[in-house]
Amino acid sequence: MEKPRILLVEDETDLGNVVKQYLEISDFEVKWLINGREAYDHLREESSDYQIALLDVAMPEMDGFQLADKIVQLGLKLPFLFLTARNEKSDRLYGLKLGADDYISKPFDVDELVLRIRNIIKRNAGSQPAAGPMPLVREEDVAFSKDTLKLTIGGKKEVVLTPREAELLNFLFQNQNRILKREEILSQLWGENDYFLGRSLDVFISRLRKHLSASAFISIDNVYGVGFVFNVRKK
């Protein structure tokens, strides 16, 4: 069986060595790069298929947040987890907005890191679309392609979503005009209902709602204490 491939981007030599060796012992294949710029060039130029990227936040030249943003801009469907010595709420929220799958503070237990990595890989493998191109979804003045992650509203406004936002929007299109419980969204879409995913869902809903505010026909409405309704009004 082919080993899961991990891209580790960490500028601390001692920590990078330890994490790389432990992940390899845990049956992963690891590519270790020491700064964000090098990692960005590698991802842009090579077509290597990684299951996850581990990104240190505080790095010279290009920090982990900047690298994550560029990964999203490249349209790579690559889940990423932030490694950071900082434990500030603002950092966590910013990481979520960029589409992070998880966030772990240094110093961390490597066994916990391995467990989180396995959970993320399993979660993403379970949410992969079937082989073949994903058809363009059109509803009134909104068009959405999960393949390109592009959302177009009114034929004018165009935004590129994160892979997680695209998965969520596709799920909402499939379940329009009915009440969706938060637990239902989390369990059906990502396989589990935990604190981090719950916070992620709130961030993704907020971002999608902001994008869709330009639509005259589609909105995401809260159902207090229950969940959401993806309202699609016909002309």
List the chain residues with pLDDT less than 70.
1, 47-48, 126-135, 192-196
pLDDT at 125: 73
pLDDT at 193: 64
pLDDT at 210: 92
Are residues 177 and 107 part of one domain? no
The sheet that has 179-181: what strands, in order across it?
Answer: 179-181, 227-232, 218-223
Are residues 171 and 70 part of one domain? no
- Asked if the structure places residue 64 within a domain, the reply is yes
- Asked if the structure places residue 188 within a domain, the reply is yes
Angle at 114 between CA 30 and CA 95, to 5 degrees: 85
Alpha helix ranges (H) inside 46-156: 64-73, 89-97, 110-126
CB 160 within 8 A of CB 75: yes
Report the C-alpha gap between 147 and 141 in whole angstroms. 19
Q: Return the CATH number at 168.
A: 1.10.10.10
What residues make up the domain containing 50? 5-126
- Asked if the structure places residue 29 within a domain, the reply is yes
pLDDT at 13: 92
Are residues 101 and 189 part of one domain? no
Are residues 121 and 14 part of one domain? yes
Are residues 177 and 118 part of one domain? no
pLDDT at 132: 42
Are residues 9 and 120 part of one domain? yes
Are residues 15 and 91 part of one domain? yes
pLDDT at 154: 86
Report the C-alpha gap between 168 and 154 in whole angstroms. 20
pLDDT at 96: 79
CB 163 within 8 A of CB 123: no
The predicted-structure confidence for 174-184, as pLDDT tens digits, reads as follows 999 999 998 88
- Asked if the structure places residue 144 within a domain, the reply is no
- Sorted by sequence, the CB contacts under 8 Å of residue 117 that are 6+ apart come out as 6, 23, 28, 52, 54, 81
pLDDT at 74: 82
The predicted-structure confidence for 65-103, as pLDDT tens digits, reads as follows 999 988 888 878 888 999 988 777 777 778 877 888 888
- Asked if the structure places residue 139 within a domain, the reply is no
Report the C-alpha gap between 196 and 183 in whole angstroms. 13
Domains: count for the chain: 2
